[in-house]
Copies of this chain bind each other. A is one copy, B any other.
């Protein structure tokens, strides 16, 4: 039994095929300047030896990794799976791979994400920013490392992309007003959520743009429990005919809360959520909600990096609008 060779290189293939290393390399890249018969001979040698190109050697030579790093401060988060779907899809399209890293946030800084990535084989990086990093204003991306932030905030040096939360609220409020409601009540989320705050602004400003003074909001904490409590509280206000909750869990909780007080949905009160996260969980009641295209957000981020890698960069800020999906929890008052 012959000793097992550590790894098969172009050199070994070249020797077996009786050609130069360069011709092997050319065959790997399917260069037109290699005779078909020669190619076949080389390919046969590759098969026989079980050759597979070494990523490190290639990257070292080329100075490129064809890989995009994704930094997350917490992996379990609404929409992350869809975003990854987008990362993977776009990466595939460009022939890139995705490297995932969880970054510990103590404190939560872009700098820590950046330095974590710098030691990894990546050409660019995406940071999923759920909260506000301490150094957002002063952060400078590593030279030569295209950096895209997933956030609604604009950054002077990094491209950014995210769902348009402001527009989401605009759509919901105008939809409800358009169906005859005099005002829209709001169940918000904890104040540390960037996207939630933006939804709140959108709700407030859209109402004002229509000459309506926003009613007192009810603060929730994303859970259906808090929506339930909010629903019970709002049930006592007879003028409340339309409620907009900052996510679906709270919206659904709210419906149950209203019902527990004898208010019917949508006959007495219309309810709208955000996220389209319930799917068909509640089979006899399709919630009216806003569906975001997180996959597209993910794709945009990776596209940006791959494109920059091949030429012009330039900082861009992209907001992707969601789509309002009608269920049967809204009544037309007109």
Contact = CB atoms under 8 A, between A and B. Distances in A.
A279 B227 CA distance: 14
Interface in A215-240: 223-225, 227-228
A82 B88 contact: no
Q: Is the interface of A mostly helix, strand, loop or mixed?
A: mixed
B97 A84 contact: no
Contacts of A253: 280-281, 283
Nearest to A74: B85
A318 B138 CA distance: 47
A225 B119 contact: no
A45 to B, nearest CB: 17
Contacts of A283: 223-225, 227-228, 252-253, 256-257
Contacts of A223: 280, 283
Interface residues of A, number: 59
A37 interface: no
Interface in A96-119: 97-102, 118-119
Nearest to A60: B56
A159 to B, nearest CB: 21
Interface centre among A60, A72, A80, A227 (most CB of B within 10 A): A60
A330 interface: no
Contacts of A75: 81, 84-85, 88
A249 B280 contact: yes
A55 B281 contact: no
A98 B97 contact: no
A262 B257 CA distance: 22
Contact of A278 (B6, B56, B281): B281
A59 interface: yes
A100 B121 contact: no
A280 to B, nearest CB: 5
A100 B101 contact: no
Contacts of A249: 279-281
Please provide the 7 A-B residue pairs with the shortest distance between their CB atoms, ordered closest to farther: A56-B59, A56-B60, A88-B102, A55-B121, A224-B283, A228-B283, A98-B100
Given A225-B283, A228-B283, 8 more contacts: A55-B56, A55-B59, A56-B57, A56-B121, A65-B121, A67-B121, A75-B81, A224-B279
Interface of A: 4, 6-7, 50, 52-57, 59-60, 63, 65, 67, 70, 72, 75-76, 80-82, 84-85, 87-89, 92, 97-102, 118-121, 142-144, 223-225, 227-228, 249, 252-253, 256-257, 260, 278-284
